[in-house]
Every structure is written in structure tokens, then in C-alpha cells.
Structure 1
Amino acid sequence: MKTKIFFLLLLAVNSFIYAQNNLQGTVTNLVSGEPVIGATVYLPGLEKGELTDLEGRFMFNNLPTGNHKIVISSVGFSTFSDEISIPSSGSFDLSLKPSAIEMEEVIISTPFHQLQSDNVMRVARENVSTLSRKGAITLTDGISQIEGVESLTTGLGIGKPVIRGLSSNRVLVYTQGVRLENQQYGDEHGLGISSKGIESVEVIKGPASLLYGSDAIGGVLYLNPERFASSNATEAEVDANYFSNTQGYQGSAMAATSGEKLKFLARGSYATHSDYETGNGERVTNTRFNEKDFKAGIGYQDQKYKGDLRYNYNRSNIGIPEEMGVQSTDKEPLLPFQEIDNHIVSLDNKFYFRNSSIDFKVGYQFNDRREYEDEHGHEEEEENHEEEINGEEEANEGEHPALEMHLETLNYNLKYNFTRFGKFETIAGIQGMYQTNSNFGEEILIPDAITTDFGIFATTHLHFEKWDFQGGLRYDFRNLESTEYGHDQEEEFIPAIDRNFNSINGALGAKYDISESINARLNLASGFRAPNLAELTSDGAHHGANRYEVGDSNLDNEQSFQLDLSVELRNEHFETYINVFHNNIKDYIYLNPTGEMIDDDLVFQYTQNNAKLYGTEIGAHIHPHPLDWLHWETGFELVHGELEDGKNLPLIPANSLTNTFRIELEGEVVKKKYAFLRLKNVFDQNRVSIFETRTGGYSLLGAGFGGTFDLNGSDLQFTISGNNLLNKTYISHLSRLKPDNVANIGRNISVSLNWFL
């Protein structure tokens, strides 16, 4: 008898330990009562999502006990957001209200994973597929279509994000949940990430040091990787793109499969482009580039734990344009060119408890940057022996890199999320980075160095019926230690440095729902940036920029304070918003011409002065009901930047106005048909720094159309789009080729096919 009782108790305990928390339900149309097929049901805190089936049903298994947010969204319906308790009693059935308002998505880059309409901080978000169907050639080309974001370019293959006039080390890029470190201080150093395998882009505009530490003084570009397949499903995708201007093509293939707990995906991509052609018919020599990219992920999730292991390898070969020369459609870069290998490994661990969770992310990156140059441009003694060894030099030209830098970075981020503490939701954590830079080439841009970061922070969110408040504090410490290069009496001597930097920063924001359709946001935030190695140690010619740069080892932190105010209105007929910002930066670091010349190069000294940037973004989207298929979007962007003495900051984007008309229709043979017509007007940029050239205004016309064929259970999506259709000859103010009067890309027609299996 005792044995039986013991056995029954053991069975009961075992059943309790391994009992699964499930959630199931049905999503229907509030008006017609029909099931909503393909609706996204998402649990943001768990980063777990499912799609409704043909009967509108969904099911989650292995959910942790506690209170969780749930978001249900579908095109043509108002997005639903609420909180549920797990385990739940009964089925979770919901009727969505039809609406012409654009479907909302959950914002991942902010700490509490909320819908944009619930977020205290306004964050710009775009799906990469949307940017691609507008004709974007690269990822940086695509992000320049987001309001408040531009790209600093050297041809098409090299692009750097510019957020409200700030770029390089003032803008952080996050991918796979970890900060991207790829020598981003350099003007000719691009992202090194393929758009394939990136699901969406989020942009935090303004200081984000509270969440991300040093270098987020201008904002954050957050790249969300594509998701795993739904539970117990297998997916595949093959796509191909052709670009007429560069005679370039891009191909990608993806496969993903998911069981109840274990998930896997892999994607391989290849792209190659010739020199781009300007509006006047010239090809810009050595703007050609090619790229190989591989991404893979393994995921696991049960009731108490979620793990996401990701790996990305990218090999880029990018020509560096110097002068207009040979007219060719070859795709192999000429000298000089960069060859870059970038490896990113990240592991995201989440442990779930009742009403709280721990998130521990760790990432490792290895960036191998090699630059090959013409042999005749190296040392004078080699020139003296050119006749003697000319044949050998020609044979070995480009064989060994003139510049080779290995950058290894270890990141970690530990956060504890109190999902409930009265009316507060609070996150506390620590972040850190350990980084080494090593040189192996004959040229040195920055010395061998070790960078160590440590930060501790806390942020909280308080929700009321009409008010939301969010705030936090953070302390950061950075140690930067470099080794001596050369000897004291040599011309290229770089002394060792050992500097400590620290800063305390905070943020406070509020959102108020003035009415059901109008809300206002006010955010105050401080941020900081420690000077980088180039600013501290430079003492030599920068051939790509045709200048001699001199650093200052005594530079201090940049410290910023930004005020950001936005008002947004949304109803079934239109949406409109206005953002105004003012960003004060103390001890802004910039290059200042000294008037001296060294070896025919003008000397520029890194120095500091207070600066300010201010401007606005205004937008509207009209979709009059019942003509829900008709859309008109307009957006205006303005940013000014100046030093305390009134001089203009360099590389500030010109003001612009963009208008887009588009139609979206459903059909039987061709589903999700669309067409658009876009006109972008860029104004004169006369507010330039003392060593910049002015640029004139221009207008660019773009158009496109596409749709989706249903092929017996698989979808074939096609897109045809054109940019600069009138083949305008123009020069962007953020093009690094403008001093040589080299125009930007002319007319480009892109064709894309995506087959979803």
C-alpha cells in the first residue's frame, strides 16, 4: 500500500514538473466573423511567434508561468496588444477590427519590447523587404530611405549610416543583438553586412547611451535577423536580383525548419557589381565590389529557457575609387581595393521565472581588414630601385596587403527584467566589451591597442491609462591602452597611450495620449563618446582623404544632451507626425585645417569645441477610407549643425522632401499587387564647413510595381523598380567623391524574384 501511495505521489510530482503551459485560440474578423488567416500572434517578452492557420487558430506550447504581453497583428486590421496570464483557463479567442491603418510591429531595440504606439521613445522601423522593393542596391542604400537617416558613401560598395547629421563612431550598429565593431571610425569602412537574412531595421535617433553605452551619442541602427520558422514547420526561400546600372546581380537561398523546441536556419548569399554609371554616361572607375555572405542559427526554447545561437560570415572585396579612368564592366576590383572578412558569433540566453527573467547575451567578432595598394606608392627607396626590380614588382603587385588589421571583440550584456513591481517594469544590468586591435601590414592607421568597457545601468517604465513614463541612469568606464609604434626619432613614431574615460548618463521620457488618435512624446537624454584611437594617435597622411591628420592624445569625452519632442495623429483616413530635436554636444571632436602642408597634403588637427545640431522630421500618410488601396506619403527632413563659434559642421545632409503615391490591391491570379511613384527633392546645401564644397539641389524620380503568384502552395513574388528614371546627373552632399566632381549613380532598373517554398 505504501509503495502504491509513493508511486502515485511520484507520478503527480513528475506530472507537475513536466506539465506544459499551453496557449491556444482563434482570431476572427470582427465584422464578418470569418477567420483571419496568417495573422501574427507574438509574445514579445518571450520572442515567440506563430501564424494563424486556415481556420484562424494558433497554439503555443512550453510557455513559462507568469504574465506576458501578447500582440496580434494582420494587414488590414488594427493591431491588438494586451497582457495575459500563463497558465490560462480556456481558449484565447479574439476578433480583430478591420482598419486601413498600417500594421504595427513590436520594437525590439528599446528595452520593453512594445508596439510603436505604446513606446515612450519614437523609433523608426522598416522591413528590409520593403526597402529592397524600392530598388535599394545595398543595405546602406536601403536605410537612407528611412526618415532622419542618410548614408555617407564612397561609391556604392562603401556606405556608413548618418543619423541626424552624426555618423562613424557616433552611431552604433547592432546586429544579432550585439554591437558591430569593424573599425567604424574610418571614412572608407562600410558595414560589411548583407541585407539578405536581415528582417527589419530599427533606428533610435539621438543619444542612446543609457541602453548602449559609449558611441551611441548620435543614435543606434538596430538590425533584426530573420526569424526561425514557426513550430513544426519547414520553410525555404530562393531569390535573385538584377541591377541594370552596375550590371550587377545578387542571389540568396534560405532553408529553415523548426520542431516543438529546436529550430534551425541557414542562408547563403552572393552579390557582384561593376562600376556604376553616372547620369552623363561615365562609369566611375573601381567602384565595383562583390560580396559573399553566410548566416546560420540554432534556436531552442522550453518553459524555462530560450537560446538563440547565430553566426554570420561576410567576405567583401571593394574597389576604392581614386580617379576617372578605364571604362569597363569588369567586376574584379582594381588596385587599390579592400578585402574584408567579418565573423560574428552571438548567443542569446533567456531564463524565465514567474514575472521576471534574465537575459544574457554574449558575442564574439573577428574583423580582418586588408587593403591592397599600388606598389609604386610605398617607400621612396623602392622607387629608387624600380628599374632594377620592375618585373618582380609587377608579378607581386597586390599579393601582400599594405594594410592589415585584425580587430577581435568580445561583448557581453546581462539584464534582469522585473516584469512586475507595483506599476513599474524595471530592467537592471551590466554591459561590457574587451577588444584588441593588431597590425600585420607595412602601413599603420592606428596602433595595436586594447579597449576595455564596463557599464552598469537601470531603467524603468511606469504605465497609467493615458500616461507612460520611462527613465534610467547609467555609469560607464572605458580604458584604452595602445602600444608604441616605431622609434622616438622616426617620422612615423606613435607613442603609447593609456587613458581612462568615464561618464554618468541618464534619460527621461513621457508619452501622453491626448485622445484615442493623438499622442505626444517628450524625451530628454544625455550620451557620451570616448575619443577613438585615430583621434588620439594619428600622425600621418590619409591617402583616401588627401590630407595629413594629426591626433591629440589629450582629447576628452564628447558629452551630449538632446531634447526630442514628437506629436503623432492616427485614424482610419490618415497618419501624420512631427519630430523636433535639439542636440547639444560638449567637446565635439572634429578635424580643423592648420594651414600647413606636408608632402603636398594639407594638415588637419583633431580638436574640440562645443557644437549643436537641431532640426525636424515631418511626415504624413493619407489612405482615405473606403479607398484603402490608395496611399500618399510625404516626408520632410531638416538638420543643421554648427560649432559654438557659428561655423558649420561638415557632412550635414541637405534638406529634402519626398512624396510617394502607391496603390495596393488584392487579386486572385496575382495577389498583393502594388505600384508606386516617388519623387525626392533634395535642396541646395550651402551651410558647409570651411573645407567642404557646396552642392546644388536635385530631384530624383522613382517608380515600381510588383505582386505575388500563388504556385500550388508556394509563392512567387516579383518586383520591378527604377530609381533616377530621368537619368539625372547630380552629386550628393554626403558623397566622398564630390571633391573630385564625381557624380552619383544614374538611372538604375532592378528586377527581383523571390520564391517562397
Structure 2
Amino acid sequence: MKSILFSLLFIAVSPIIYAQNSVSGQVTNAETGEPVFSANVYFPELSKGDMTDLDGKFKVENIPNGKFKVVISSVGFATYSNELDFPETSNLNITLEKSAIEMEEVIVSTPFHQLQSENVMRVERENVAELNRKGAITLSDGLTQIAGVESLTTGVGIGKPVIRGLSSNRVLVYTQGVRLENQQYGDEHGLGISSKGIESVEVIKGPASLLYGSDAIGGVLYMNPERYAASNEINAEVDVNYFSNTQGYQGSAMAKTSGEKLKFLARGSYAAHSDYETGNGERVTNTRFNETDFKAGIGYQDAKFKTDLRYNFNKSNIGIPEEIGEQSTDKELLLPYQEIDNHILSLESKLYFNNSSLDFKVGYQYNNRKEFEEHLHEEEHGEEEHAEEEEHLEEEEGTDHPALEMHLETLNYNLQYNLPRTGRFETILGVQGMHQTNTNYGEEILIPDATTTDFGVFATTHVHFDRWDFQGGLRFDTRSIDSEAVEAHEEEHAEEEHEGEEHEEEPGHEHESGEIAAVNNSYKSINGALGAKYILTENLSARLNLATGFRAPNLSELTSNGSHHGTNRYEVGDQDLDNEQNFQVDLSLEWRNKHFEAFVNGFHNTINDYIYLQPTGELIDENPVFEYTQNNAELYGGEIGLHIHPHPLDWLHLESSFETVTGKRNNGEYLPLIPANSLTNTLRLEFDNPDYKIFGKYIFVRLKNVFDQNNVDAFETRTAGYGLLGTGFGGQFAINSSEMRIGVSANNILNKDYISHLSRLKPDGISNIGRNISVSVRWFL
């Protein structure tokens, strides 16, 4: 591996040229010739740009030699995109065409930084602020507004993204440019990312192992952090939200400043929610949660070098619901609950050479997951005696120790060389890797102590013609998993942590599991992707993508041997499980003009050696035994959508989208936890006249119809359909030199009592959240 790294570095550094350039110009309206104020002039590969002034003028400095894409966008205009050659370019005058279609943004999650309309692979991109203003309580909740994306939930505070029927270890999440590792195989906790400080999210639907390695067979969620301030500017923001259903609140404050080369930002956020209320008026006990989040970044950039250091601390305290009991709006958590601390430190650097560049990303994550459970003292000795014993233990030990505590440490790296362009070809070579350790410190052992090591090498190429674009590549990956053996009722780490103290095992904290043998497994896989985009007419384009992906079995699937009280089953792993290997065909058609958009996406995803739980018919500890096994499976379906702006009513938007997915194993049985078909219709009115005191005004009405889910696994029950009505309105106004934005939204206005097929509380007959009215106030200083 070292030889590969040094070879890439030598090839890249040899043509280095120390140079800096600048470009200036004016942006005007193509119809009137008037200057366009506040247009965004941005170089995505350089992560720098400028905003046009009142005269439509701009200037961007410190640009290295080479060819770089410039993107110019403004509300109400079609986005302009072109490639500029430096030092040949120094002046740029652009006219923008009026368009009612929303302005496009650059897609970051794919390697060549194209606009969506230029991309070979269709990628959904949504602004997180836009998702929040529609009343999303959490980031996972907001993601469900994207076609093809749902959420596997446990109440309101716990949500796992589901892309076209696949979730958990089959969907990768990227934040700050590095893969998020936080025991994502588990259903009992959510993303662990606050929506505050996230600018946008991009969704790749389907296998993306070519770019991201193992675990991306279902797709990728790519979180783009908020940008730094423009050069020589200081920005600040205060954001407050209130949610009526959970009587919850969220507050966030941000400050950022940038000079010519040095940039800095910081943001702190806090949220707290009570138990949510269902449509029938009951509060679901212990679905309360709170979240503390801090994000900071420091960046430096000149003509030949760019670096960005980011840090994110997220602390989540999440109640684990068991049944509907105490009716309270208290925000203090009850037992059982989880406390999850997540630290992410990432460094992204880029060196610019003559028509080429070298990217290096490295990330360190520390995830501390604790679970606090109810002791059996209360049941055996009564509440008073239990309280006395708890008080005695806390005085003696100074704290309440978790039953489950796991420390996950992960080091990721990604080295990528963007070769000089040759004619119509753009090529990228790269290596990626990960080193991860899992260590137990609690009395219970969910998965054993283990070390996971990944290494992958890949190459991808993009070829552009007048009507055709092609993109393809190959990748080779290895993964090794080494774990320690676990004896029955092992409490080794708990004893080590309290060495020198007299430790007495408490009833109820006993780890009910059998022995687990040590694992020493290695997995290899070769994957590829090939895609084509063809412009059939000026308005109609087609995309066809073929891709393979793989997923190595996770530690839970390999080593489980114990009772899972949350699911009331005894799970048994299999150390001989093979890779999951999939092949997906994705076809997309898109029609687009100034006032009308429509798309049709269809996919077929075949997964060999799909891993799932199968009952054995036995009972252990009065729990049914389920063992992990494999069988081939397939998923198929797609999304259809349209967006209409009837001329000349450019302020009127009519949107509709339909999504469907079906999942089956080769034996004819349906896969579990497949989302039901749904149809979403939205009517939006938007008025963006800056001459009025209140501008950026909007109002929307949305109806989401979820159909009956009758295609269920043998151990699931059918789920009835339902319809949810929502609405919202808002606007913004200036206060001296600052700006305030206010929004009000209401979800499930009719207070419908319903149960989602993807709710983990469904087996207990517990309904989802009822009516919720949210109010948001953002103050830009």
C-alpha cells in the first residue's frame, strides 16, 4: 500500500506550477440586460466563489492554473455551467435565462462535480433548510420527503434511513467527507447527526461500492456541511424551533468569518423533546430524547493548496420505549435509555497542479454507546428498598454504571489523484481504507471486541461527447475481521474497569448468551460500474446505469448468540456467512423545460447471499430462536414525479411523486420492512419580490397517501394505508442590516391515528405521531 501512495504522490507533484489567477465579470438578465444582483458565482472544485453586487459584478481570486468548472446560479434563472481554462481566462460576462425551475446545484457525492442535469448517475439533492421548514423534527424525519427514501423508526427520536427497501449496514452515510461509523447495524439508535450545520443532503440510490467500498449496496446518504463565509465577510445566525406535539424545542447559534485565505466557523445546537402523542391522544412512554451538538471548522486556501479541518461532537440521550404507561410531558429520560457520544474529526486537503490535483481525506471517529437498564431490585424488593439500594450504590461508586458500553474507534483515509484531462477523458485513481476497533466495557456483551480493517483501490473515468456522456470504473476491496472469543456470562471488561473494587453482579444485568468463538475472517470483492447519459432532444434525456456492489457480514450477523430483549428473540450468528454481492440496473428518463419537469426512474436490484434472520422453531430462555442465514433476493420498483410551473403563473408550483418497491427472496417469500407504495402531492405558492417589506413568501399544502402494505414477510402483519395532510407558510424581512426568516408548518393536520409499516413499535400496536405544529425563527446577522 505504501508503494502505491508514494507512486501517486510522485506522479502528482512532478508537474507542480506555482501560479495564481483571477477572473472578474458581470452577470446580466438575458431578457432585459439588467444586472443580476446576488447571483452565486462558484467554482465547485476549488470551493470558492463570489456573489454579484448591485451592478451584477463579481471577482474571484487565487485560482490555480488548469481547467475548472464555474457554476453561476440565481433564483428565477436557469443555472449556467461551463469550464474555464486558466490562465487564458481573466474576464467573464454571462447572461442568465429566466426560468421558473429551481436553480441547480453541483453534486458533490459523485466524483466529477457535475450539475444534476449533466450527471451520468441521477442523484437526488435537497437543501436541509428546505426539509426543516416543512416541519421535520429530526434529520431522519426530513429525509423521508425525498422520493425513494423512508425511515425505519422507533418513536420520533430514532430513525434509520431506508433507500429503496434497504437500510442499516446496506446504506452508507457520509458526513464531513468521511463515512460515518456508529454501530449502524443496530436498530436502537438513529443517525447521530444534527440537521443544524448540514447544508444539503445527496442521495445515491443503488450500489455505490465503486466509490465508497463495502456497505454501499443500497445507496449513500452524503451530508454536505455548511459553507464558510465569503471572503472578507462575517456572518452569524440564531435559529429557534418549537414543536407542539412533543412540546419540544431546538436552538442553534452560528458564527463564521473568512479572510482572503483563512476561514473559520462554529455552531452549537441543543434540542429536547417529551414523549410524542399519537392521533388517539396517548403519549408513548419514554420516546423522549435530547441532543447536544457542536460543529467547528477552520480552512485555509491559496492558489495551490486548500485544506479544511472539521470537528463535530454529538451527544444523544434517547429513551427506549417498551409500552404505553406513564402519561407525562417530562423531558427527563426513564429507564431504559441510551446515551451516545460521537466525535468526528476530519481533515480534507487538496493540492492543485497543472491541469490535475491530489485529494487527501482522513477522518477519526470515536463512538461511545451506553445503555442503562432497569434493575430487578424494584420487582424483587419493592420500590422503597430499590431506591435505598440505588442510593447506596451511587454513594459507593459515585455514578450509575451502564449495562452496555461499547467504544468504537475508526480511522478512515481516502487518497485520490485527478489525472490531467486527455481530450474528452477525465480520470481518477484512488485508494481508500479503514481501521476500526470495537471494545466492550459494560456487563452485557452485544458484539465481541474486534478489529476491522479495509483497503480498496479504484479507478473511474468520464467521457463527454456532444450528446453522449459515459462513466465507468473498477474497484478491488479487502476486509478483515478479527474478534476475541466470548465466554458465557463474560464480564471481563466491567471487572477491569472497576479493578480494586468489590464488584457484585446484580440480577437482571446478567448477559444471557452462550459462548462465542473468535472470528478471523477475510473478504474480497471486485466491483464495477458503467453508466451512460444520452440527450435525446433539447428537453429529454435518458440515463442507464449498471453497477455491482458488496457488503461483508457485520459482527452481529457473525457472532450473535444471546437474547435480545428489545425484540424478544434469541439470535444466533453464523461465522461462515459470505459477502452479499449485488447487481443493479437503473434506467431514468427526464423531461425538462422552463415550466415543466417530469422523471421516471426504474430499477432492478439482485442480491446474492442476502443475509436475514430465520426462525428455527426452538426456544431458549423462553424466547424463540432466530439464526442468521443467506438466500438470494431481488428488489425492484422505482419513482415517478412531475413538477409544473404553469406560464405565466411562475409563482405556482404543482408537484407529484409516486414511489414503489417490492422485495422477495428466491423462495418466493417477501422481504421484511419494505416500505409501502406512496403518492405525494404538493401545491406551493412562492413570491420572491425583494421590493416588498416581506419577501421570499411561501405557502404550501401537501397530501401524502400511503397505500396498504400486503406484501409482507411471513413474520410480519399487513399494514393498512393512510393519508397525511400537511401545510405551511412563511417569509422573511429585513431588520436594519440583518434579516429574519419565519416559518410555520403543520403535519398530520387531521390528527390521523395510524401505524407505519416501518415502525418498530408496530408489533405492540403503538401508533405513530399525531398532529404536530412547528414554528421556526431564523435571524441572520
Tell me the TM-score normalized by structure 1.
0.96
- Distance, in Å, in 2 between the alignment partners of 1:695 and 1:742 is 13
Corresponding residue of 1:356: 356
Question: Aligned AA for 1:515?
Answer: T
Corresponding residue of 2:583: 561
Choose 713-722 or 387-396, whichever is displaced more.
387-396
- Distance, in Å, in 2 between the alignment partners of 1:419 and 1:469 is 18
CA apart distance, 1:461: 0.1
CA apart distance, 1:491: 5.1
Equivalent of residue 575 in structure 1, options 594, 597, 601: 597
- Distance, in Å, in 2 between the alignment partners of 1:139 and 1:196 is 9
Equivalent of residue 670 in structure 1, options 677, 694, 710: 694
SS at match of 2:448: coil
Q: How does 1:66-105 map to 2 (within 5 A)?
A: 66-105=66-105
Corresponding residue of 2:425: 424
Q: How does 1:539-550 map to 2 (within 5 A)?
A: 539-550=561-572
SS at match of 1:534: helix
- Distance, in Å, in 1 between the alignment partners of 2:748 and 2:775 is 15
CA apart distance, 1:669: 1.1
- Distance, in Å, in 1 between the alignment partners of 2:530 and 2:104 is 24
SS at match of 2:241: strand
1:444 is aligned to 2:445: yes
SS at match of 1:129: helix
- Distance, in Å, in 2 between the alignment partners of 1:63 and 1:543 is 58
- Aligned CA distance change for structure 1 residues 708 and 388 (closer, same or farther; 3 Å): closer
CA offsets 1:399-435 (integer angstroms, 9 cap, x no match): 1100000000000000000240221100010000000
Equivalent of residue 553 in structure 2, options 531, 534, 538: 531
CA apart distance, 1:377: 8.5
Corresponding residue of 2:656: 634
**Consecutive aligned runs of 4 or more in structure 1 exceeding 3 Å deviation:** 16-20, 382-390, 393-398, 487-491
Equivalent of residue 716 in structure 2, options 689, 692, 697: 692
Question: Aligned AA for 1:82?
Answer: N
CA apart distance, 1:547: 1.1
- Aligned CA distance change for structure 1 residues 640 and 377 (closer, same or farther; 3 Å): farther
State the aligned residue count.
Answer: 739
Question: Aligned AA for 2:656?
Answer: T
Corresponding residue of 1:401: 402
- Distance, in Å, in 2 between the alignment partners of 1:54 and 1:67 is 29
Corresponding residue of 1:114: 114
1:733 is aligned to 2:761: no
CA offsets 1:335-382 (integer angstroms, 9 cap, x no match): 00000100000000100001100000000000000000001189xxx9
Corresponding residue of 1:192: 192
- Aligned CA distance change for structure 1 residues 127 and 387 (closer, same or farther; 3 Å): closer
- Distance, in Å, in 2 between the alignment partners of 1:427 and 1:271 is 41
CA apart distance, 1:573: 2.0
Question: Aligned AA for 2:556?
Answer: A
Contact 1:656 1:680 in 2 (8 A): yes
Corresponding residue of 1:682: 706
Contact 2:131 2:142 in 1 (8 A): yes
Contact 1:615 1:638 in 2 (8 A): yes
Choose 397-406 or 36-45, whichever is displaced more.
397-406
Question: Aligned AA for 1:498?
Answer: N
1:260 is aligned to 2:284: no
CA apart distance, 1:90: 4.2
Question: Aligned AA for 2:401?
Answer: H
1:745 is aligned to 2:769: yes
Corresponding residue of 2:505: none
Corresponding residue of 1:10: none
Contact 1:572 1:624 in 2 (8 A): no
- Distance, in Å, in 2 between the alignment partners of 1:546 and 1:187 is 14
- Distance, in Å, in 2 between the alignment partners of 1:358 and 1:420 is 14
Corresponding residue of 2:53: 53
Using the aligned pairs only, state the percent identity.
71
- Gaps of at least 5 residues in structure 1 are 1-15
Contact 2:243 2:775 in 1 (8 A): yes
CA apart distance, 1:516: 1.1
- Distance, in Å, in 2 between the alignment partners of 1:91 and 1:425 is 26
CA offsets 1:85-107 (integer angstroms, 9 cap, x no match): 11234421111111112211100
- Aligned CA distance change for structure 1 residues 390 and 96 (closer, same or farther; 3 Å): closer
Corresponding residue of 1:9: none
1:593 is aligned to 2:593: no
Question: Aligned AA for 1:87?
Answer: P
CA offsets 1:246-280 (integer angstroms, 9 cap, x no match): 00000000000000000000000000000000000
CA offsets 1:438-467 (integer angstroms, 9 cap, x no match): 000000100000000000000000000000
- Aligned CA distance change for structure 1 residues 386 and 242 (closer, same or farther; 3 Å): closer
Question: Aligned AA for 1:535?
Answer: E
Contact 1:572 1:625 in 2 (8 A): no
Q: How does 1:304-319 map to 2 (within 5 A)?
A: 304-319=304-319
1:481 is aligned to 2:457: no
- Aligned CA distance change for structure 1 residues 488 and 330 (closer, same or farther; 3 Å): closer
Question: Aligned AA for 2:746?
Answer: G
Contact 1:23 1:88 in 2 (8 A): no
Contact 2:346 2:364 in 1 (8 A): yes
- Distance, in Å, in 1 between the alignment partners of 2:432 and 2:676 is 36
- Distance, in Å, in 2 between the alignment partners of 1:464 and 1:452 is 40
CA apart distance, 1:492: 2.8
- Aligned CA distance change for structure 1 residues 383 and 49 (closer, same or farther; 3 Å): farther
1:716 is aligned to 2:717: no
Contact 1:403 1:440 in 2 (8 A): yes
1:171 is aligned to 2:178: no
SS at match of 1:141: helix
Over the aligned positions, Cα root-mean-square deviation in angstroms equals 1.8
Equivalent of residue 496 in structure 1, options 515, 518, 525: 518
Corresponding residue of 1:584: 606
Question: Aligned AA for 2:166?
Answer: L
SS at match of 1:54: coil
CA offsets 1:474-509 (integer angstroms, 9 cap, x no match): 000000000111269995321101000000000000
- Distance, in Å, in 2 between the alignment partners of 1:212 and 1:687 is 32
SS at match of 2:195: coil
- Distance, in Å, in 2 between the alignment partners of 1:596 and 1:27 is 72
SS at match of 1:62: strand
Question: Aligned AA for 2:388?
Answer: G
Contact 2:513 2:563 in 1 (8 A): no
Question: Aligned AA for 1:24?
Answer: S
Q: How does 1:283-432 map to 2 (within 5 A)?
A: 283-376=283-376, 391-393=388-390, 396=393, 399-432=400-433
Corresponding residue of 1:5: none
Tell me the TM-score normalized by structure 2.
0.93
CA apart distance, 1:385: 12
Corresponding residue of 1:466: 467
Corresponding residue of 1:701: 725
- Aligned CA distance change for structure 1 residues 509 and 269 (closer, same or farther; 3 Å): same
- Distance, in Å, in 1 between the alignment partners of 2:88 and 2:309 is 30
CA offsets 1:84-130 (integer angstroms, 9 cap, x no match): 11123442111111111221110000000100000000001100011
Contact 2:19 2:303 in 1 (8 A): no
- Distance, in Å, in 2 between the alignment partners of 1:396 and 1:315 is 26
SS at match of 1:249: strand
Choose 484-493 or 51-60, whichever is displaced more.
484-493
Question: Aligned AA for 1:454?
Answer: F
- Aligned CA distance change for structure 1 residues 484 and 675 (closer, same or farther; 3 Å): same
- Distance, in Å, in 2 between the alignment partners of 1:224 and 1:482 is 34
- Distance, in Å, in 1 between the alignment partners of 2:768 and 2:719 is 12
SS at match of 2:419: strand
Question: Aligned AA for 2:207?
Answer: P
1:136 is aligned to 2:162: no
